[in-house]
Amino acid sequence: MENDTIVALATAPGESAVAIVRMSGPSALAIATRRFRGRRSPERSASHRLLLGSFLDAYDSPLDTVLLSIFRAPRSYTGEDVVEISSHGGYVIPRAILECLIAEGARAARPGEFTERAFRNGKLDLAQAEAVAALVKARSDRAVRAAGATLGGALSLRVAELDRDLVPLLAEIEARIDFPSDVEPSLDGPALADRCSRITMPLREWLSHLPAARRREQGVRVALVGRPNVGKSSLLNALVGYERAIVSELPGTTRDTVEESIWLEGTELRLCDAAGVRRSSDPLERLGLERTNDAARRADLAVLVLDRSEPCVEDAAAVLTVVADRPLVVAWNKADLAPAAACAAGVPGRVADADTIGAASARELGISKSLLLAEVETVAVRPGGVEPLREALRDSLRRISGDAAGEELPTTSVRQETLLRRAVDALERAELGLREDSSYDLIAVDLTEARQALGEIVGRGIDHDVVQAIFSQFCIGK
């Protein structure tokens, strides 16, 4: 039922100092009153008040000293009466509070049901509601800022502005369909097409920034690839600061992918150490190589690790087929050892910017200058020996995650991206129809579709099943 009272644990279960149980609905205050003992009754308390008292268990004995936060409708997150019970954390007390409230008549909330009620009660539009989930899942400082901007209405405002520009354009077309004798018969198609193009342009720019924005939201995947025994696992350990991967002088030690995260520039880098690239008849090693290929394909950035002390041009050629078209940082590891003659000529020392790399180096490695972001020397086994790579990753991160472009771009879900593309396609068809003097009816259909797509971003005209599917992806208690 949509008007019943729901309850859920709003904090993650487990050992913690404080836990919060959230309850929302018409009976929230009455249920809280039956389980709470303090100087003031929740039902008689004003909105936005904190009450100190005891929570009674199923035997009417004090279970814990709690704080009750009272939010009366409509001045609450959901627009309904809301009670939040702050207790000591752990596994037992929060669960006992939850079970008592359910026994009193509340229902366990579905994932996202609190935010869904906020949407249905007009406290948030759908774009803002989705931003709540994005805020919880954000994996970088910039992702938090982007989600916060959407939650604050930045995305909704953009959609409203575009819709306002579309309305007079559609009205002009529909007037000629419905009242052909009452309006100017001639239509300046090219002028209207230009207006349509001006609406489409910011949408195209928006979509072009989404891949970089998504990296900021979800974290940047970085694959460490190279021949066996070049020091990939040692570099991973040095970057994360502890022995995450097994290191051995025997080649082929790493058979499976090893993943760990570090944080640079407020963004999560999801490092993946994979099996070394070489021909092998060992079934396990071949399976490991398959996983290396998969990790490289899914990576946003690849680090090509080469042994500075051994002949390496052949190594690079073999491994470059794995990293394919990924943006690339070259790490010449074991730089403390004497370089082999085959590698010494034309290769610079420590370089932070790919633009300064000598042509001979790029040509020798066979790497496209457009993909080569940086080239550094590292000594994974020495303190500070990995810092040139860390700095190169920091610089590369700014380039592949859109440091300049899209800084204020609000967070955009896959659903919203699909609707934006639908709007762009419809607007492009309408623009073409206006330039080619097509049927007014067809142009009106395209402009209407564009408006519908934009409206669905904020939840206008969207059906109940779609709404429930969106909120089912939220965490319980949110």
pLDDT at residue 176 in the model: 78
Measured CA angle at 230 (ends 225, 234), to 5 deg:
85
Question: Where on the phi/psi map is residue 451: left (φ > 0), alpha (ψ -120 to 50), or beta?
Answer: alpha
Give the whole-angstrom CA distance, residue 212 versus residue 418: 17
The reply to whether CATH 3.30.1360.120 applies to domain 6-109 is yes
Q: Which amino acid is at 362?
A: A
pLDDT at residue 365 in the model: 62
Contacts of 150 (CB under 8 A, 6+ apart): 127, 128, 130, 131, 134, 156, 410, 411, 412
Question: What are the structure tokens assigned to 296, written together?
Answer: 């490289």
Measured CA angle at 405 (ends 432, 368), to 5 deg:
90
Dihedral sign for Cα 367, 370, 371, 374, please.
positive
DSSP per-residue codes, 218-272: H-EEEEEEESTTSSHHHHHHHHHTS--S---SSTT---S-EEEEEEETTEEEEEE
Give the whole-angstrom CA distance, residue 25 versus residue 452: 32
Tell me the C-alpha to C-alpha distance, in Å, between residue 57 and each of 22, 99, 290: 17, 9, 56
* Identical topology for domains 6-109 and 219-400: no
Residue listed under structure tokens 């909704």 = 156
Q: What ranges do the domains of the chain cover?
A: 6-109, 131-214+413-471, 219-400
Q: Which amino acid is at 318?
A: A
Residue 250, Cβ neighbours under 10 Å: how many?
A: 7
pLDDT at residue 250 in the model: 46
Second CATH level (architecture) for the domain 131-214+413-471: Up-down Bundle (1.20)
Beta strands in 91-150 (DSSP E): 107-108
CATH no. of 219-400: 3.40.50.300
| Phi, psi at 97, each rounded to 5° | -60, -45
pLDDT in tens, the chain (478 residues): 468 999 999 998 888 999 999 999 999 999 999 999 999 999 999 999 999 999 999 899 999 999 999 999 999 999 999 999 999 999 999 999 999 999 999 999 999 999 999 999 999 999 999 999 888 888 777 778 888 888 899 899 999 999 999 999 998 888 877 776 666 666 778 888 999 999 999 999 888 888 777 776 777 888 888 777 777 888 888 887 766 654 445 444 544 567 788 888 777 888 888 755 545 555 555 555 555 566 667 778 888 888 877 755 555 666 666 666 778 888 888 887 766 544 443 343 444 344 433 333 555 666 777 778 888 888 877 888 889 988 988 888 877 766 544 445 677 788 899 999 999 999 999 999 999 888 889 999 999 999 999 999 999 988 888 888 888 888 888 8
pLDDT at residue 270 in the model: 84
